[in-house]
Structure 1
Amino acid sequence: MGNTQYSRELRLLTPSHFENVFKDAIPSVSPSATILGRHNHLSHPRLGITVSKKNVRKAHDRNRVKRVIRESFRLNQHKLPHIDIVVVVKPGLDKHTNAEIFELLEKLWKKLTKRCDKALSS
Structure 2
Amino acid sequence: MDHYTFPRELRLLTPKNFQKVFSKPVRASTPEITLLAITNEQEHPRLGLTVAKKQVKLACRRNRIKRIMRESFRQHQHELPAVDIVAICKKDLQHMDNEAIHKLVRKLWRKLGRRCNG
Normalised TM-score (structure 1)? 0.95
Structure 2: runs of 5+ lacking an equivalent: none
Deviation at 1:3, TM superposition (A): 1.0
Matched residue SS, 1:42: coil
Looking at structure 2, the residues matched to 68 and 27 of structure 1 have their Cα atoms a distance apart, in angstroms, of 20
Cα-Cα RMSD? 0.7
Matched residue SS, 2:91: coil
Runs of 4+ in 1 over 6 A off after TM superposition: none
Looking at structure 2, the residues matched to 57 and 92 of structure 1 have their Cα atoms a distance apart, in angstroms, of 12
Looking at structure 2, the residues matched to 77 and 110 of structure 1 have their Cα atoms a distance apart, in angstroms, of 11
Normalised TM-score (structure 2)? 0.98
Residue 38 (structure 2) aligns with: 38
Structure 1: runs of 5+ lacking an equivalent: none
Deviation at 1:57, TM superposition (A): 0.8
Aligned length: 118
Residue 94 (structure 2) aligns with: 94
Matched residue SS, 1:37: strand
Please give the per-residue CA displacement for 1:54-89, whole angstroms capped at 9, x wherever unaligned. 111100000000000000000000000000000000
